[in-house]
Structure 1
């Protein structure tokens, strides 16, 4: 597994100095990052790839609704994205099995178009996809069973835990479809402000990393953090590097 960072974590810094923020991430030792609002930031991301030793193998962009999907695919290709991930879908739809199956069919159709452009598409969960129980399992697991093999999942391990999942078991159940994992820590409450650098909270990180070892990228993320965000990212990256070295 290689390590990345979700750029939403540093959204305030990006708003004031996009390229300077990317430079700071590179200075922390990161060579991969995961953008959000891919289409909006297309030009800045292309410039960043040209200026810095960083790439953007995965990106968040809403595409399951009524959008110009060709424009999104063009932006993904321009930025060098391999995995295009929709970060959120309406919570109410995850309480109905028919709606979950319809959403999976939409994602499968997007996957066919994306494959022609050389891309994989996927979905990123929050807690509500795990809180909802349908046909004896979580709505996320029902959703996964309806997806074409080429569709990937990005499991947000923290929000899955908040939603009641036993995260290592969930990752085992979802299998090789999980190519991306969001890695974060905290007190396991629904309050984003309670999130902490990796290793400082209650997440079962060692078991989570073991269960996600076959994923392509582990993505550090903070939805919020009471401390200095760059220091929090640096501490999380140091934890991952220590853990990998120890495991090796």
Structure 2
């Protein structure tokens, strides 16, 4: 893993609020073709923050491109739940070197959410990772999909069971709530955010008809999700624009989504 540092981004008047970011997975094909050019396009839109993912997040190429445009990466997605201490040390050291202070595990499979014991095991692994991350000045978080909300244990969603367990054993672990997948999972994202409170430090904002077909996702403001109400339910959380996929051009959808947030006074 590379350790080239990325300085914290500075927000200019012409840029989006530092509370707004974009998950780079949304424009993964463009990044695969041209990292520097894709970052330049995002900078031109006004993004001061991005959320990298996977091996790209730790690459010198991305670090250099972000530094050139003074773009920060306050959060990143990496799979780490269940990793050994050596792997965790390497990951969190690399994240810290880039100025990323929150490393979020984006997925654990549905078979880990079927019982309270399953969920408590995930919480224990997050807590163990948090202890290693703290040595590097980094915190860890977890990002949901639909299955954590579809699993209901004693009248409580498995995701909320996780949140409750983390509050007991590792309150330093934070949550990034993907509000679209909450809706796909049959829950009200606004009500969920209100219940979770300060554990939520970041939101994935996307829109569409709240179906499991990722091609149905559209730009913010053009679907059925109450974007303004979602943001109001977690006003201090980082607002990360994302589309998993779409029938239209995803770069255009990112631009339109940012324009929608600006028009609504949310960016």
| TM-score bracket for this pair, using the shorter chain length | over 0.9
Q: CA deviation at 1:40?
A: 6.1
The residue correspondences of 1:74-153 to structure 2 (distance < 5 A) are 74-147=93-166, 148-153=170-175
Query: How far apart, in 1, do the equivalents of 2:226 and 2:66 lie?
Result: 34
In structure 2, do the counterparts of structure 1 residues 74 and 45 end up closer, same or farther at CA, with 3 Å as the change threshold? farther
Q: CA deviation at 1:192?
A: 0.3
Query: How far apart, in 2, do the equivalents of 1:232 and 1:225 lie?
Result: 9
What count of residue pairs does the alignment treat as equivalent?
Answer: 245
Query: How far apart, in 2, do the equivalents of 1:227 and 1:239 lie?
Result: 17
Query: How far apart, in 1, do the equivalents of 2:208 and 2:57 lie?
Result: 30
Return 70-79 or 6-15, whichever deviates more: 70-79
Whether the 8 Å contact between 2:74 and 2:100 is mirrored in structure 1 is: yes
In structure 2, do the counterparts of structure 1 residues 245 and 60 end up closer, same or farther at CA, with 3 Å as the change threshold? closer
Partner of 1:66: 83
Alignment of 1:225 onto 2:242:
no
Query: How far apart, in 2, do the equivalents of 1:37 and 1:245 lie?
Result: 28
Segments of structure 2 that go 5 or more residues without pairing to the other structure are 1-17
TM-score by length of 2: 0.88
RMSD over aligned Cα atoms: 1.5
Q: CA deviation at 1:178?
A: 0.2
Partner of 1:8: 25
Partner of 1:188: 210
Segments of structure 1 that go 5 or more residues without pairing to the other structure are none
TM-score by length of 1: 0.95
Alignment of 1:57 onto 2:74:
yes
Partner of 1:19: 36
Equivalent in 6, 26, 31 of residue 48 of structure 2: 31
Describe the superposition over 1:29-83 as per-residue Cα deviations: whole angstroms up to 9, x where unpaired: 1110000015664212221232112110000000013351111112201221011
